[in-house]
């Protein structure tokens, strides 16, 4: 049920928590022709908690934001269209007497890195059919035109998107990355996050990361792959709706940050949503390379539900968005292996402090350990360190 009491938001140190990962677009499988697909386009579910953020790209008409200047139906935005900065979105409160949400005076910062805004334009699939008369992309054409073989995307004919830059970072592929993203920080007591995206063709991926502000840094919440054709990204041209269940609505110490960004590859995780067991036990084939040109991502909507209505926004809007790729080390448990995104000096400790492994590697065989809680410490080539709890 909805909480009636509003709590003054104070940015606190948060308690450690263990996190569950959601890999890929969780939804239902459906057939189209001889192929199996997975689509989450059945729509978002209803929440009984406060909808505190409701961002619709169609309403972001402020011309001070970077503007999409390419023609409707274009493959992607012009290179000069992208910019970095922030905008503010109102926090909403629930009015019992009218059973409706209304904006409050509290404005929450939304940071973006190399993004451009197109409030009046539609998904690439809709534009191809209705503007340029083209056929929507995909190996199985009838399955990619929003026909009854799949659940029709709710954003197929909905205007408004924020496009993220997919550009490479120069001929020498050096930092900083020019892959775009959107980031919202320090949201209290989050129950769920709903968001939708599309791309300019089929088989276009996206990533959504979560930071629970528990000292473990950014972790993947949902990664939709671009590097195999008949599955996760198959319907990206007509759009996807995703729902992330966070479950922190009754934890007053919880603050969550999240970002939506370009798929840049992934050779760490298994393809657990793949068509057959052979694929499910093998990793994605594309190595993470944030300095190569990748796939187009267009974000249409973002909704956040919480156990409280914040009465105060974070103290300062970021003057610049940090490069999310700078010297990050990622640690994951996959198929009984502790895997790292780069070769590093690694130590593994039991929860009572006993050191069980020490060496320079990018993976540790965890099958030798008993079931339990372990602490992994890693120091990368840049000197950046990361400590992570692994179950």
Q: What is the pLDDT of residues 288-301, one digit of tens each?
A: 888 999 989 999 99
Handedness of CA 189, 194, 199, 201 (dihedral sign): positive
Measured over the CA atoms of residue 262, residue 147, residue 152 and residue 29, the dihedral's sign is negative
For residue 335, the tally of other CB atoms under 10 A from its CB is: 14
Please tell me whether residue 128 adopts helix, strand or coil conformation. helix
Dihedral sign for Cα 214, 211, 310, 108, please.
positive
In tens, the pLDDT along 164-218 reads: 999 988 888 888 899 999 999 999 999 999 999 999 988 888 999 999 988 888 8
Q: Where are the domains of the chain?
A: 28-326, 327-391
DSSP 34-51: TEEEEE-TT-PPP-SSEE
Higher-pLDDT residue of 137 and 182 is: 182
| Cα(272)–Cα(137) distance, integer angstroms | 25
User: Considering the domain 327-391 in this protein, what is its CATH number?
Assistant: 2.60.40.1270
In the predicted model, is pLDDT for residue 22 greater than 60?
A: no
29-38, 149-158, 367-376: lowest mean pLDDT where? 29-38
User: What is d(CA 386, CA 182) in angstroms, rounded to the nearest whole number?
Assistant: 24
- Helix ranges (DSSP H) in the chain: 124-127, 277-280
% residues pLDDT > 90 (the chain) = 38
Q: Band of the pLDDT at 35, cuts 50, 70, 90?
A: low
pLDDT of 61 over the 70 cut: yes
What mean pLDDT is reported for the chain?
80
pLDDT at 44 over 90: no
pLDDT of residue 319: 42
CA neighbor of 158 nearest in space, from 260, 233, 43, 239:
239
Q: Which residue has the tokens 């056929």?
A: 135
- Residue 22 to residue 55: CA distance in whole angstroms: 23
User: What pLDDT was estimated at residue 321?
Assistant: 43
């Amino acid at each position: 049920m909805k909480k009636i009491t509003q709590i003054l938001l104070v940015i606190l140190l948060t308690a450690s928590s263990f996190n569950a990962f959601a890999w890929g677009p969780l939804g239902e499988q459906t057939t189209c022709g001889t192929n199996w697909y997975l689509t989450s386009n059945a729509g978002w579910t209803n929440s009984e908690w406060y909808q505190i953020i409701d961002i619709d790209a169609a309403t972001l008409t402020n011309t001070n934001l970077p503007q999409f200047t390419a023609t409707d139906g274009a493959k992607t935005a012009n290179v000069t269209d992208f910019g970095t900065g922030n905008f503010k979105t109102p926090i909403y409160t629930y009015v019992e007497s009218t059973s409706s949400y209304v904006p409050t005076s509290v404005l929450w910062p939304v940071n973006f890195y190399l993004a451009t805004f197109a409030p009046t334009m539609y998904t690439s699939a809709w534009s191809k059919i209705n503007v340029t008369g083209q056929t929507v992309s995909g190996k199985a054409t009838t399955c990619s035109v929003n026909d009854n073989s799949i659940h029709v995307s709710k954003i197929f004919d909905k205007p408004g998107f924020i496009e993220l830059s997919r550009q490479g970072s120069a001929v020498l592929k050096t930092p900083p990355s020019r892959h775009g993203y959107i980031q919202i920080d320090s949201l209290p007591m989050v129950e769920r996050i709903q968001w939708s995206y599309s791309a300019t063709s089929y088989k276009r991926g996206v990533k959504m990361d979560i930071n629970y502000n528990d000292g473990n840094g950014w972790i993947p919440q949902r990664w939709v792959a671009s590097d195999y054709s008949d599955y996760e990204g198959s319907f990206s041209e007509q759009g996807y709706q995703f729902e992330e269940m966070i479950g922190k609505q009754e934890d007053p110490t919880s603050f969550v940050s999240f970002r939506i960004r370009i798929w840049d590859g992934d050779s760490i995780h298994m393809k657990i949503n793949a068509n057959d067991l052979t694929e499910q036990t093998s990793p994605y084939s594309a190595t993470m390379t944030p300095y190569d040109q990748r796939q187009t991502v267009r974000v249409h909507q973002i909704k956040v539900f919480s156990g409280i209505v914040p009465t105060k926004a974070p103290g300062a809007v970021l003057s610049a968005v940090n490069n999310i790729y700078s010297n990050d080390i990622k640690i994951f448990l996959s198929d009984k292996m502790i895997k790292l995104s780069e070769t590093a000096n690694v130590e593994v400790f039991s929860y009572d402090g006993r050191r069980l492994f020490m060496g320079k590697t990018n993976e540790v065989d965890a099958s030798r350990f008993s079931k339990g809680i372990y602490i992994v410490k890693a120091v990368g080539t840049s000197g950046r360190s990361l400590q992570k709890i692994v179950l």
